[in-house]
Amino acid sequence: MILEPVRPIQLSEIQEARKRIAKTIVRTPLIRLELGPEFPDIRLKLENLQPINAYKLRGAANAVALLPDSERERGVWTISAGNAGQGVAYAARQAGVPCAVVVIETAPKSKLERMCALGAKLIPVSYDVAWKALEERSFPGAEGTFIHPFDDNNFIAGHGTMGLEILEDAPDAR
């Protein structure tokens, strides 16, 4: 099965996502990498300063924030080997929403421990089983609304908020 491409995300969706997630994420700095005058202008967006040390919180926070009340009670679930799972778990905890993560059993122990610490119920599976669940957007035992870790308009719009910050901090960037 081939995943259908996500439709283009509109600038207005990214701008609305920014407002929606402002209290959950950190507006991270953009710093210049000083290598010397013979090197190009390189800037680093320090997303490692997010509460989960990764940009994935932006998309997860937007997706969770957009859940209708009726779906919040049922909870959310996602599939991840690390950062997306941490992002959904963090955003769900902030919103008071139950969360489960179908985790790839070879995921780093530190990522699994962090998801647990954030309140996620972990369901370990093989990579092949996880990929099948991604394609089908369902998994036996995972309840609530599925938040796709990369093929979801709301998730992508949340990530797009980094672009708004980059344009503000480096308006001359190309």
Q: What domains can you pick out in the chain, each with its CATH number?
A: 11-168 (3.40.50.1100)
Cα atoms in the 13 Å half-sphere on the side-chain side of 71: 13
Reported as a single tens digit per residue, the pLDDT across 95-138 is 999 999 999 999 999 999 999 999 999 999 999 999 999 999 99
Rounded distance between C-alpha atoms, residue 29 and residue 89, angstroms: 24
Decide if pLDDT at 1 tops 70: no
What single string gives the DSSP state of each residue in 77-145?
Answer: EEEESSHHHHHHHHHHHHHT--EEEEEETTS-HHHHHHHHHTTPEEEEE-HHHHHHHHHHT--TT--SE
- Rounded mean pLDDT, 51-76: 96
Q: Assign 169 a pLDDT band (cuts: 50, 70, 90).
A: very high
**Summary mean pLDDT of the chain:** 94
Query: Would the pTM count as exceeding 0.95?
Result: no
